[in-house]
Amino acid sequence: MSTLDLTRRHFLTGAGTAAAAALVGVPGPAMAAAPMLGPVVPKIYRFKLGGFEATMIADSDAFVDGPWPLIGGNVEQSEVAQVMNANLLPANKYQPGFTPMVINTGKEVVIFDTGNGERGFVPRPNGGWLAQQLEPAGFKPEQIDVVVLSHGHPDHIGGLVENGKLLFPNARYVTGAVDYDYWSSDRPAGDLAQQAALYRDYVVPLAERTTFLKPGDEVVPGIRAIEAFGHTPGHLGFDIESDGKRLVFWGDCAHHQVASLARPDWHCVFDIDKEQAAKTRARMFDMVATDRVAVSGFHMPFPSLGYVERRTDGGYRWLPHSYQLKV
């Protein structure tokens, strides 16, 4: 008799015994209802990546209006709504992730982006959780060796400072040279000028502690920058590999798990160069779908970890991670 047969027999025998026991004494009605406990949503997710250990930390669980016109503003609202309805999602509200990622290489602890902090896009208490979540995630701020900034938007640099002091006092900093040149200049105008003011307050004073990357440059052994320009002028992704296991951190190449992938040509209001960002999305999605590689997407639903599947209509589909990286 096989192990499978034994397992089945044990299950069926146990189920029959339980059913018989239940018939012996049927309990009466409950005397009182238990109190409502409220929803419980995880804020920390950890997994192995070869010899590395990765930790995803939620910085916000806010809902925003959209996805249209934040995503798909270059098409009719009804077209975006149709895609949402086809995917069993509301057409007027969505919940993006805001997910910094910590990689422990065994030699250095590297954090990718710092969330909203005190002055980001999502105000507290609905955002800016990173500083509070570090300890539950198992880290002290002074343990962070390298802070990687994929780009200069407030929801990625806002967590650099807490109560007027650097949150990561012992870290060195890494960002794209092109992005730094843009945000530290007088080129940003309008709303972008306000974002640049935060950049000048938080990032520019760190210049002497900062390494300025170009695509292809190494952050630490096993982590290398990928060109992902368009969302911001020097936006970067990162290729992370250890012991044959690979993960791509694509920063803000996508802002909605369905709309951004189904139609990479749909514009995103947050993209500074919308046409270039659309080309970058198409290239990035094609790469990770072809390579069948895991993805850390900052704005994908928490834990912001998944894969990309190519669709026959020319678009793509986000496949949330389940257990692929556990085996």
3-state secondary structure of 109: strand
This prediction's pTM = 0.90
Q: What is the pLDDT of residue 237?
A: 98
Q: What is the pLDDT of residue 236?
A: 98
Helix or strand holding residue 289 (H, E): helix 274-291
3-state secondary structure of 182: helix
Q: Specify the length of the chain in residues.
A: 327
Taking a C-beta distance cutoff of 8 angstroms, is the pair 234, 176 a contact?
yes
Tens of pLDDT, residue by residue, the chain (327 residues): 554 455 555 544 555 555 554 555 566 666 678 899 999 999 999 999 999 999 999 999 999 999 999 999 999 999 999 999 999 999 999 999 999 999 999 999 999 999 999 999 999 999 999 999 999 999 999 999 999 999 999 999 999 999 999 999 999 999 999 999 999 999 999 999 999 999 999 999 999 999 999 999 999 999 999 999 999 999 999 999 999 999 999 999 999 999 999 999 999 999 999 999 999 999 999 999 999 999 999 999 999 999 999 999 999 999 999 999 998
Q: How many CB atoms lie within 10 A of CB 283?
A: 16
Nearest to 220 by CA among 191, 245, 194, 242: 242
CATH for 45-320 (3.90.1150.10, 3.60.15.10, 3.40.30.10, 3.20.20.370): 3.60.15.10
Q: HSE of 94 in the Cβ direction (CA atoms, 13 Å)?
A: 27
Task: Give the type of residue at 264.
Answer: P
Nearest to 158 by CA among 46, 40, 245, 59: 59
Edge-first strand listing for the sheet containing 305-310: 218-220, 223-227, 236-242, 245-251, 294-297, 305-310, 316-320
Q: Is 236 left (phi over 0), alpha (psi -120 to 50) or beta?
A: beta
For the CA atoms of 219, 222, 223, 228, what is the dihedral angle to 10 degrees? Answer: 130
